[in-house]
Structure 1
């Protein structure tokens, strides 16, 4: 057989089940040949062959265009070419599994025998949103090169921007968008209540005392788009608004006024801050002046002042109680002078108190004599 093939100028080319042979003779395409042995012309050794493993599925060859142009029937029998327009992306699947995600103006050629093949096209000039089921498949198969994925958690909002222009506000959940030929970005905004601390702010009071303040504010974003588009950083804007408002309010007061009106100052300084932040979509829920910190020497002076004030108050109270006690003794004396029976009762109480302090008491003249002796002792 080999001898006859040489005489006839032929060569037998073997191919396995998973192989296909592309043959050229004298530079011209002969066709695509399947499993088994194929006798092909080879006079002068002018036969060229290229072997392909169809298990890979995709056909890539510099002879692709000549094959479809000059041997269209052969190409159609073995190959399928998929194309996308400038406004399309396509998902190519083989036997239900995603193989390729085609970008706009793209071409893909596959082996028919490696199929079955299917293609799903999407017009990216209109709706950019990807169905959740398809999005999960693309992410799972690692075919998300043309996809912008954003995960929006509960209590958050996602602002979708396409080529720098606001497009939509996203609800919580996994979101996906076609990003082929455009820039897609998602900015996440926290809508929950948040706390902002402004610590260590130095303020010069009207009476030239430098104090330090610690402030706290609770806020939440009610209009995410306004909060993002109006200012660069809404949290920083709130921080600076609190600084300026409290510096202006407290700088016009003396130290004594600040310490006296510490609780009511919150509402006075917070009114303008609340209005300014509402204009950029941020609701200020509460503002509190937590601490007023004085310099060391000023604290000592104030402690001395407070101690002196408390001592004076204690002296006033002590004098008032002494006066009340003296007035009570005077009233008691008047009652005894006008009522002899009351006087005798007091004398008995005194006797009882004396008797309770001695171990032995001897009475010679009876109770009457004892009482008279006590009275004489009192008179002496």
Structure 2
């Protein structure tokens, strides 16, 4: 009788410790609701196994403490199952929590923001152009209990969903929209992914389009088009320059015709520029007035 009287207070103390470490001051209310929905009666067999597990803990003290007490970091949560059912209270942690051997298991969930690359996806755009597009997705676990209980692998499922969402969204865009409106596409994709992964306990924080690769033939065609546009622009600029030069030359001719001295000065400047080039032969043009005199004598 004395042994039984000593074991009862010890079991009560362990029960209090278990309740205290499993009920931290801060818990996600959605975790609690999910646990309450899954936490039903474990039946007579479950209570018997729980009682035997407590006896095992008491009989193996203090060695059982090294097995029963677990620690999770500040950025982690532990989702605890007893005989396959979620325990009331949702996820445990951060800090220390208690696990009954043989009948309880737990899964650690990292709450930090994670990132993954979406592999290049071959997409047929709305204007029938095949492009290869890749992206990067930033996400985190917002509900540890739901991410474990509602989906087999939340991280892998989010990756696959990001690939299909990228293909579906870009398939409704034209090529010029994909090339010039990446921010809007990234924002729309982030909203679609966030809504779809809410039931998985996942929060998609950011999506970025990394690169858009065009086929080689299309790249050559676009390069030829850009080169033709540049050549056309250069011709327009040259034509405008010639037009302005002709106008300036016309104005200069009108000014020179009004002043014979200006014509002689221009004549001397031309001779000076010819001699400055170190030519061995210098041609002296005959003034127009001399030619006019010769023409008058012939007549």
State if a TM-score over 0.5 links the two structures: yes
| Distance verdict in 2 for CA 1:161–1:338, change over 3 Å | farther
Structure 2 vs 1, CA of residues 359 and 292 (structure 1 numbering), >3 Å: closer, same or farther? closer
Matched, 1:309 2:233: no
| Distance of aligned partners of 1:379 and 1:239 in 2 relative to their CA distance in 1, 3 Å threshold | farther
Please identify the structure whose Cα radius of gyration is greater: 1
Counterparts of 1:181 and 1:86 in 2: how far apart (Å)? 21
Is residue 2:94 matched to residue 1:187? Answer: no
Q: 2:76 aligns with which of 154, 157, 175?
A: 157
Secondary structure class of the residue paired with 1:124? helix
2:80, 2:91 within 8 Å by CA — same for their partners in 1? no
**Rounded Cα–Cα distance in structure 2 between residues aligned with 1:328 and 1:285:** 63
What residue is the counterpart of 1:234 in the other structure?
154
- The answer for the alignment partner of 1:376 in structure 2 is 287
Tell me the alpha carbon deviations over residues 9-65 of structure 1, each in whole angstroms, 9 at most, x when there is no partner: xxxxxxxxxxxxxxxxxxxxxxxxxxxxxxxxxxxxxxxxxxxxxxxxxxxxxxxxx
Aligned with residue 337 of structure 1, among 257, 265, 276: 257
Contact 1:148 1:185 in 2 (8 A): no
> d(CA) in 2 for partners of 1:292 and 1:143?
58
| Correspondences of 1:113-124 after superposition (within 5 Å) | 122-124=13-15
Is the contact made by 2:119 and 2:163 (CA closer than 8 Å) also made in structure 1? no
Partner of 1:213: 133
Count of residue pairs brought into register by the alignment: 246
The 5-angstrom pairing of residues 97-116 of structure 1 reads: none
SS state at 1:217 partner: strand
- Structure with the bigger RCO (C-alpha within 8 Å, sep 6+) is 2
Partner of 2:216: 296
Q: Contact 1:159–1:188 at 8 Å: present in 2 too?
A: yes
Q: Per-residue displacement from partner, 1:281-316 (whole Å, max 9, x unpaired)?
A: 433332222222223333333333333333333333
Kindly indicate which of the two structures has a greater share of residues assigned to strand: 1
Query: Is there any run of 5+ residues in structure 1 with no aligned partner, and where?
Result: 1-67, 69-79, 90-120, 132-140, 361-372
- The 3 A distance-change label for structure 1 pair 236 and 188 is same
Q: Distance in 2 between matches of 1:271 and 1:345?
A: 77
Q: Secondary structure at the match of 2:70?
A: strand
Cα-to-partner distance string for 1:99-150 (whole Å, 9 max, x where unaligned): xxxxxxxxxxxxxxxxxxxxxx73337735569xxxxxxxxx9654541423
Which residues of 2 match residues 223-302 of structure 1 at below 5 A? 223-278=143-198, 280-302=200-222
Shift of 1:268: 3.8
Aligned 8 A contact 2:72 2:78 in 1: no
TM superposition score normalised by structure 1: 0.52
Deviation at 1:339, TM superposition (A): 4.7
Once residues 198 and 84 of structure 1 are traced to their aligned partners in structure 2, the CA distance between those partners, rounded to angstroms, is 60
